[in-house]
Structure 1
Amino acid sequence: MSLNPFKPFASYLRPYRWALVIGLTFLLGEQLVSVSIPLVLERAIDQARASLDQTAPDLTFLTRYAALIVGLGLAQWSMAFGMRWHLASTSYRVERDIRQRYFAHLLTLPIGYFQQARTGDLMARATNDVEAVQRYLSHGFRMFLSAILGFSFSMVAMCLYDWELTLYALLPMPIMTVILRLVGSRVRQRYRMVQEQFASISTCLQENLSGMRVVKAFARRRGEIDHFTRLNDEYVERNRSLIYLYSTFFPFTFLISGL
């Protein structure tokens, strides 16, 4: 497996590389602005404290700082909008291209393949799996780069103030790295189980729709309903297991990083 999580999609992303460049430029600007706002606020507070120590304090400068912070906030919002627009649009175009290529590939396969493959699996790959790729490229890609840029800029700012305190703040990072690797493997396993169960549901539904006359002729309606209910219940349980892992992991990482 490649260490680069985006390498499998390089051929699909290449036609939209300029949209990616624009989106990443907006992302870089957004992170820079988000780091600069606390610095401006700090300067305003320090200047206000120094002014209050005088006999006749003049706080009119706070208006300029307030306008600057509002302007930076609007700039951050604009960059965030541009970043999400370009990255999300690219992810939907990649989703379209993958689905079209998948369908074109199905048309080249021999008849024997379709006699062995489950229709539900083929439908799940064309719908749920491709949508998962779109969410990964849209949200996962953005969050991954935002975390890296935000962490890098924050570390630079913290080191400029107090590098020793920064080292203490980095102490939980090895623990979080180990936990992330352990939880990541379990998330992939449980997510794969969810996708497999979704394929089973799609197969059951397709078989019943195509063979509805047989089901009614042999009075199999109750049995098929019970079978479909069991598949749905299992799908819910697998999703609950995945959600439980998410809901346990993220609060724990926030706790470790907060400490």
Structure 2
Amino acid sequence: MSGRFDGKGFVVTGGTRGIGRAIVLGAAAEGARVVFCGRGESAPVGAEVEAAARAAGGQARFVPADVAVEADVERLFDNALGWLDEVHVVVNNAGVTRDSLLVQTTLEDWRYVLDVNLRGPFVVCRRAVDEMLAQGNGGRIVNVASFTANGLAGAASYAASKSALLSLTRSVAKEYGRRRILCNAVVPGFVETDMTTGYRATARAALAQLSPYGRFGLAEEVAGTVLFLASDEASFVTGDAVYVAGAVRDVPRMTS
């Protein structure tokens, strides 16, 4: 297998399903060696992703890890460095939501969403930058945000976490750009993933029509943009947020 990521080491969080799975398989298909994580209960799915990567001629390895747990993040990187020569690309894709109106949102729900969607990426970015500085060859960090960062009725915690993730992205880019560590965000719109399969058919149809395409995006379409930002082709792109949302920039008030 040869491609634009030959000899590159990737670490991808939330890599067992949806967008994360597409990123893992896409990178592996282009020559990368990919370490990806999911929670412990995702191990059977992780094995399936490993097998799919092998079937396509690529290499991927699953590590059970919860990004909300700092020790798990450290173990993820320790495992990755035991298999990869270096870590060149890190993708923060893991994310969760607990939808509810503001007055119904508990502090437990708020903390849970922020721990996974913001605290986790912060810890991952910190370890990634530390490794990339030690390696001395720069690197790429891509954070998967969401167009709900503009605000979303019924999911304030999720929207707030994704908005803050965009600010974290810009801050990392400004701090370490001179060391050739580039940090960008991909901003998906409505995409066919586990998070959207629960929408009512009528809601899905209405939301799909918000885009001129008349459909939801595909995980592979988001992954393609992530891989572009991870590549040498994006060598002058940092601190940016690239929308993959089918011309939709905001989310109307809705119920699922």
TM-score by length of 2: 0.32
Larger % of strand: which?
A: 2
Structure with higher Rg: it is 1
Higher relative contact order (CA 8 A, sep 6+): 1
Q: Which has the higher helix share?
A: 1
